[in-house]
């Protein structure tokens, strides 16, 4: 965990792949507990530390996660995320070069809870949700392409599912068609940048994540 922004009301950290944001059935210590411990030690706070989880990243994904340090910030951030007022930009290293260097993808996604997987369709089907993202090519090597992705909707595994449907699975993402895993179990998807108006001070906050410690990321990033 690396703290990239902090004030009295919010803290933004860069999550490593493999960390979970909130506790789950694995029993592994979540990032939220690590951040609480950091706050407790830094400010020598007695008793329980308040920390609100306002959004999540899939376990194998790395990059920026925003937490609320006060209840006022939590309720306002929850509304901002719900209303699309927090702008997140992702970087994804994918296999294959898409046909278009810049495009909007629209699919209908069905989530399979048992498999913890989503399926994308080109037309509306039963129990599907309309799903939209925009991407553009911002880098490439001989074998891989780096896409900048902006979500217009927020669905389960949306980026992973839609890019795979396009024929460009994310590197290391076995669940969505990558031919092999990454050595560390990650997938090459980074929550790269986050922009929003601070829920209390009303200042514009723009934060970027450090690149993963990986030669391919360093070679392909602009």
- Rounded Cα distance, 175 and 57, in Å: 16
Backbone φ, ψ for residue 129 (5° rounding): -120, 135
CA 85 to each of CA 42, 78, 81, 82, 137: distance values in angstroms, whole numbers, following the listed order: 30, 10, 6, 8, 25
Quote the pLDDT of residue 190: 98
Over the stretch 180-215, which tens digit does the pLDDT of each residue have?
Answer: 999 999 999 999 999 999 999 999 999 999 999 999
Quote the pLDDT of residue 77: 97
Residue 1, pLDDT above cutoff 90: no
The closest of 4, 7, 34, 5 to 18, measured between CA atoms, is 34
The closest of 202, 209, 213, 217 to 66, measured between CA atoms, is 209
The overall average pLDDT reported for the chain is: 95
Q: By percentage, how much of the chain surpasses pLDDT 70? A: 100
The closest of 6, 72, 77 to 39, measured between CA atoms, is 6
Task: Please check whether residue 172 is in contact with residue 60, taking contact to mean a CB–CB distance below 8 angstroms.
Answer: yes
Residue 41, pLDDT above cutoff 90: yes
Task: Please check whether residue 190 is in contact with residue 91, taking contact to mean a CB–CB distance below 8 angstroms.
Answer: yes
Cα angle at 166 between 64 and 111, to 5 degrees? 65
Residue 168, pLDDT above cutoff 90: yes
Task: Please check whether residue 6 is in contact with residue 39, taking contact to mean a CB–CB distance below 8 angstroms.
Answer: no
- Rounded Cα distance, 74 and 81, in Å: 10
Residue 177, pLDDT above cutoff 80: yes
**Between 216 and 25, the higher pLDDT residue:** 216
Residue 44, pLDDT above cutoff 80: yes
Over the stretch 114-148, which tens digit does the pLDDT of each residue have?
Answer: 999 999 999 999 999 999 999 999 999 999 999 99
Residue 23, pLDDT above cutoff 80: no
**Terminal Cα-to-Cα distance of the chain (whole angstroms):** 24
- Rounded Cα distance, 36 and 3, in Å: 12
Over the stretch 75-107, which tens digit does the pLDDT of each residue have?
Answer: 999 999 999 999 999 999 999 999 999 999 999
What global pTM score does this model have?
0.93
How many other CB atoms are there within 10 angstroms of residue 72's CB atom? 13
Sign for the pseudo-dihedral over CA of 154, 213, 147, 180: negative
Task: State mean pLDDT over 142-163.
Answer: 95
Quote the pLDDT of residue 26: 73
């Amino acid at each position: 965990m690396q703290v990239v922004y902090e004030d009295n009301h919010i803290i933004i950290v860069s999550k490593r792949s493999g960390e979970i944001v909130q506790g789950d059935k694995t029993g592994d210590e979540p990032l939220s507990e690590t951040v609480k411990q950091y706050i407790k030690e830094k400010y020598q706070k007695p008793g329980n530390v308040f920390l609100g989880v306002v959004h999540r990243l899939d376990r194998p994904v790395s990059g920026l996660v925003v937490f609320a340090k006060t209840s006022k910030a939590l309720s306002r951030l929850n509304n901002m995320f719900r209303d699309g007022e927090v702008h997140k930009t992702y970087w994804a290293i994918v296999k294959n070069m898409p046909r278009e260097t810049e495009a909007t993808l629209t699919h209908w996604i069905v989530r399979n809870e048992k498999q913890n997987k989503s399926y994308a369709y080109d037309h509306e089907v039963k129990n599907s949700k309309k799903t939209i993202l925009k991407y553009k090519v911002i880098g490439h090597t001989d074998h891989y392409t780096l896409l900048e992705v902006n979500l217009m909707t927020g669905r389960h595994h949306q980026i992973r599912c839609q890019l795979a449907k396009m024929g460009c699975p994310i590197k290391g993402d076995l669940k969505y068609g990558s031919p092999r895993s990454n050595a560390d179990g990650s997938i090459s998807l980074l929550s790269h940048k986050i922009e929003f108006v601070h829920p209390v001070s009303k200042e514009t906050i723009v934060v970027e994540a450090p690149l993963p410690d990986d030669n391919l990321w360093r070679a392909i990033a602009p």
